[in-house]
Each structure stands twice: as C-alpha cells, then as structure tokens.
Homo-oligomer: A and B are copies of this chain.
Amino acid sequence: MSSPYICKWGILATGWIAETFAKDLLTDPSTRSVSDVEHRIVAVASSTSASRASEFLTKIGAPHESAKTYGSYEELVADEDVDIIYVATPHSHHYANTLLALRAGKHVCCEKPFTINAAQTEHLIRVARENKRFLMEAVWTRFFPVVKEIQRLVHEEKALGSVKRVYSDFGMQFKPDPKHRLFNPELGGGALLDLGIYALTWQMILLYADPENNKTAPEVTSSVIKSKLTGVDEFTTMILNFNATGAQGVATTNMTVRSAGNVVLVQGDKADLTVPWAPYRPESFTIHEKDAEGVYTGKNETRKFDIPGHGMFWEADACARALRDGKLEEPTCSLAESTLTMKIMDQVRYDAGCTYPDHIEAVEQ
C-alpha cells in the first residue's frame, strides 16, 4: 500500500468556521474510511496578532510545535511550507484574501459564498488560471456521502422517476441587531449570501446537475423583503425554471424564522424525497413512495448517514486529491457552478435593489 498524500494547510483567519474546519483536518481519516490522503495544519494566521493564532491552536487541540503562527495574512501566504490556504474570513473579505493567496502562488479553498458578486468570482478564477493554481469554493454540503447518494438515486437510479419540482429552504432565527454580521451591509449581510446559498446549492445539486438538464442555466425570478433595520435581504424566495427538463425549483431563505421540519423536498412522478434539517449538514433522507395518482402509499425508506466529526473533511479530502493529482479544479464543486450560483445571487440582489457599499462590491482592475 502506498503512503497517503499529505496536504499541508495554511489557515487564514481564526473564527468559528476556521476552528471547525481545522478540527476536521485533525480528525483521523480512517474514521471516514479514507486512507489515500492526510492533512497537516502547518500554519495559522490571525489578522490581528500571532498570539491569537496561537490560542487557535490551543482551542483546536493541535500541538503548538506542529504549526507556525502569524499575525498577518501576508506572512501566512508567504510561508513556503504551505500548499493550500483555507480562507475562513467573513465573505466580505473572501475576494481580497483569496487574491492575496493566489498571487503568492498558493492553492486556495475559500469558504462560501465565494465572493460578494460574480465579477469578483470571475476575477479570482482568471488569476488562479493565470497562475496555474487550484481554486475551489468550499461548498462542503456537496461532498457529504449522503448528498452523493441522493444524487446517485435521483440522477442515475431514477428512484423518484422524473423529477418535477424541488423545494429547498434555509431559514434561521436571528435577533434583529444592526451590528450583527448578518444585518450589516458592510459585511455583505442579508439572508441570501449567508444562508440562501445552501437553498440554492440544493437546486444546483438536484435540478441543475440532472444529466437531462445538460448544464442549462435556470431562468430565475425572485422576490425580497428587505430588513427594516438595515435594508439587507431578510426574506428571499427564488423561483428557478429549468426549461430543459421542465422542472421548477423554489428556493427560500430568511433570517427571521427557522426552517420547519424538512429543508428539501424533491418531487418526482414515482416518489418524493425529503431531507430534514440541517440543509448545510444533512444526515439522512427519506423516500416516500407514491401510487399512480401521486398519492403517498405509506411506504417510506429512511437512510441515515453517520458523520464522524463536523463533516468538513470531505471537501478537504477532495482538495488534497486534486493537489496530489495536479488538478486545478474539483468537478464536485466546479468553478463554473460557483460562477453561475454567484450570478444568480447577483440577479436576485440587483432585482431587489439590495447592493452593498462600492468597496465591498469592487473588483481590482
């Protein structure tokens, strides 16, 4: 047996998502039956101080001698030992941070949403390609075994028959607070970019990725209720018409009421499939059989999938394999789909008049 490929990560930022990702990197790959790749955290940077990066190592339970700690992102991306940078800042900063890392010659896995708008995403892709560097938006949900099994059942096995309609929702109840990240336009706030991307991702996973859709972009219609506090999108509903397959998707998000029960409903002519909370970290699905009139027969099958950790390691494994194989893109989470998703979110925001301050939306020339 050949030894596993070791992927050497630099962690850019030290907040909650960075902690979660880093803990998953430290999880023994054998607990998820992975033996071909392994992860090392070789450096961590806080934008404020190296001691904060050091505290981060303590928090995630990593030995301090294992990783260098930096008080600036510039130092991190200059570290020659780092293969790939994980960008874990608020999404208002993803564009600048990713650009910094790519320009320093690093591969990048950047948290979702990729950037604030599609122009920024397209610019990052151009820079990555010019520099021949791997780039991926960390849409971790796409990499869960349960999601891949749903895709196999729906697209290959055709377990639901012909899929006609998909509902997807991600709503969370946040206390109205103009200073909170989600309410703050200066941080790219609003439900859509932060939560709505998951509702949209399920539409991409199910209806866009349907082989019969042949990668045809959906026609998008949307409506937004803006927050009375700060004007960011508070309730957003998107209707996606996939004209190649004749299927309609309804993706909803909001930051005021939490999703109820199921967060995804896939309706086919033979069966329906539901996914219960959480939309970002699915652990099971149920298939509901239907009779010739479309009425549930009462015959259901639920399948649960164990997640030996938080579940971000699967996307990390995909990055490691791409680096090992010299690939610059991961097909499970293609740059084309990230761009399309950003374009849809652009359209939804612009149609509703929900824009961010110029410096947040800017693209370097």
Contacts and interface: CB of A to CB of B under 8 A. Distances in A.
Given A223-B239, A225-B241, A294 B257 contact: yes
Q: How many chain copies does the complex carry?
A: 2
Contacts of A268: 257
B237 A257 contact: no
Interface of A: 164-165, 171-173, 219, 221-225, 228, 234-235, 237, 239, 241, 243, 246-248, 250, 252, 254, 256-258, 260-261, 265, 267-269, 272, 274, 288, 290, 293-296
Contacts of A254: 164-165, 248
Contacts of A173: 269, 293-294
Nearest to A290: B258
A225 B250 contact: no
A171 B235 CA distance: 24
A294 B248 contact: no
Contacts of A272: 260
Given A164-B257, A237-B239, 8 more contacts: A164-B235, A165-B252, A173-B293, A222-B239, A250-B252, A258-B290, A260-B267, A260-B272
Nearest to A165: B257
A296 B252 CA distance: 19
A115 B237 CA distance: 29
Nearest to A254: B165
Given A165-B257, A260-B267, A272-B260, A223 B225 contact: no
A290 B296 CA distance: 28
B225 A243 contact: yes
A61 to B, nearest CB: 28
A170 to B, nearest CB: 13
17 contacts: A164-B256, A165-B252, A173-B269, A173-B293, A219-B223, A221-B222, A223-B239, A225-B247, A234-B246, A235-B241, A235-B248, A237-B239, A248-B254, A250-B250, A258-B294, A260-B265, A260-B272
Nearest to A240: B223
Contacts of A290: 258
A272 B261 CA distance: 10
B235 A260 contact: no
A288 B265 contact: no
Contacts of A247: 225
Contacts of A246: 225, 228, 234-235
A269 B234 CA distance: 15
A305 B148 CA distance: 43
A257 B235 contact: no
Contacts of A222: 221, 239
A300 to B, nearest CB: 11
